Structure 1
Amino acid sequence: MTLKRWRWTVLFALLGGIAWGHAEPVQVVVVLTPAGPELKIDVQMVGEVSTLPIRGAVVEARLYARTPELQKLLDEGGGSVSQAGDPDLLGAPLASVPLEEPKEGGYRGALPTLPPGDYVLAVVDTTFKGEAAVAAKPLRLPPPPTGATLALELPETSTPNRYLLYALLGLALPALVGIGFALAARGERREG
């Protein structure tokens, strides 16, 4: 391989690392099931573009009273909220729970059962320091005995520059190591 081709290979590897570092919207499916004094929450998160399960996320489920202010946000978003930025965008929740990941891309938790009425359920992702994604939809409690399913979308987030730099270095490092091994192997073949 000529030196010119190696330059293109290195450039492609570095540019590929930059493309991998950008966030994508995340499809979220929430299943709510009544369980005595609790409301069980099962959440599946999948990348919209990659269709891969989202692993290792820091996710929280929150229930809010459906106030006129929240209803206005829901109306502006076509019946849902999907915004990046402030994790407390919707105000103070009536109840919240951090979700655990018992299986890849699947998160689980339980909220206390609230009195019957109209609420807003939000999923808040704060995986990366300095950024948050919020998705919310209206919900009527109690859900049917068989449960209720909500489809949400967490928006793309813009990772702060210094965190993006670390992520890109982390992605570029394996490519550079691979290129180094390829060059070393090529050099050994010439000598032999």
Structure 2
Amino acid sequence: MMRTFRSFAAALAVILGVAWGHAEPVQLVVQLAPGGERVNVEMQMIGVVSTLPIRGAVVEVRLYPLTDELSRLLEEGGGELSQAGNADLPATPVAQASFEEAREGGYRAKLPVPPAGDYLLTVVDTTFKGEDALAAKKVSFPLRPSGATLSLELPETSTPNRYLLYALLGLALPALVGIGFALAARGDRKPA
């Protein structure tokens, strides 16, 4: 019985570690390269604490015209915008595209080339339900022939309690049923 309890406690510790394992800031290195009528966007995602590549992320890139309100938000953030929770900005993007994972922790997308001017390049992570994260910096078009490289940081996010509860129950329920069957089967044995 004690061995079964220890096994259950170990399994629960692993499940909790997985559930909270993504809640760390993520360092982004975004490279923009001219590609004719499109801008090639390459991005590397690395966990700040774990230093591991971030795999399987659901991420998109958006270009917003740099309005006075967005400029003010950038100034307040020291030239960078980084927020968790609401990924909506007070403007309409002129271009956006979803990233595809090209390699472990490496993502790529293509954006249409916008008219000349200043823009807010925004990376939005919507991997986990209810915990959007956003990081943004100013970029100017047209790009230089060598392109541009931006360093951004997605903030730490917290999983909503209701979502976490359902996720943990979904992971723990099969284990609890298995433990119940094992205990029931042990109870039918009679010593010889």
TM range (shorter): 0.7 to 0.9
5 Å-filtered alignment, 1:1-192, equals 3=2, 10-11=8-9, 14-15=12-13, 17-22=15-20, 23-169=23-169
- RMSD across aligned positions (CA): 2.7
**1:94-145 superposed Cα distances (whole Å, 9 cap, x missing partner):** 1111111121211111111112211110000111222211100011112221
Number of matched pairs: 180
User: 2: distance between equivalents of 1:122 and 1:81?
Assistant: 9
**1:12-68 superposed Cα distances (whole Å, 9 cap, x missing partner):** 653454344221111111000001111110011111111121111111100011111
Per the normalisation by structure 1, the TM-score is 0.80
Which consecutive residues of structure 2, in runs of 5 or more, have no partner in the other structure? none
User: 1: distance between equivalents of 2:43 and 2:7?
Assistant: 40
Letter in 2 for 1:138: K
CA distance 1:173–1:33, shift in 2 (3 Å): farther
Per the normalisation by structure 2, the TM-score is 0.80
Determine what percentage of the aligned residue pairs are the same residue.
58
User: 2: distance between equivalents of 1:171 and 1:46?
Assistant: 26
> Residue 173 of structure 1: CA displacement?
7.8
User: 2: distance between equivalents of 1:46 and 1:170?
Assistant: 28
